[in-house]
A = this chain, B = another copy of it.
Amino acid sequence: MEKLLLHRRSLLRELETLGVRITAQRRALIEAIQTADGHLDATMLLEAARKRDTRINRATVYRTLELLKKLGLIDELDLMHMTGEKHFYEVRTTVDHLHLACVECGRIEEFTSPLFERLKTEISLRNQFEIRVIRLEVGGCCKTCSKQDHRAVALRAASHV
């Protein structure tokens, strides 16, 4: 539910404002990130970008992601390293959000909260720390999977009677 409320800005517009050159390859990658459904890793982004511009190379993907990261336009996620050591990317949202990763089904839920905002304020004030990036990732068991676990436990118990 929260996810739908997350507002992602237009990378192309931001880059234009910043005076960054937008080549055909960069455009292809940017469109891939921007229209992605969910969180993509570098390989998935390469494939998605290739559908828009077949020339784009893996190195360009990494170099462009690095650029966007430095400009604070995208965030790099680990998603609790559930599927290896690769990174996932998403367009930065106007309001920071956190990620819940279900270790059972792999689903990622996004979440915003005024408490999170207050915590950020506390961090800045109490430590006089100027926050540039913040990443809150949670690993655990989602609603659906814990229900299924309970059902499985109940079934096992029943079959032992």
Contacts and interface: CB of A to CB of B under 8 A. Distances in A.
Interface of A: 76, 78, 80-81, 85, 98, 100, 102-103, 109, 111, 113, 115-116, 118-119, 122-123, 126-143, 146
Given A115-B122, A119-B113, A127-B111, A80 B135 contact: yes
A132 to B, nearest CB: 4
Query: Nearest 5 CB-CB pairs, A to B?
Result: A128-B143, A133-B139, A130-B141, A132-B140, A131-B140
B115 A130 contact: no
A100 B20 CA distance: 30
Given A135-B136, A136-B135, A141 B129 contact: yes
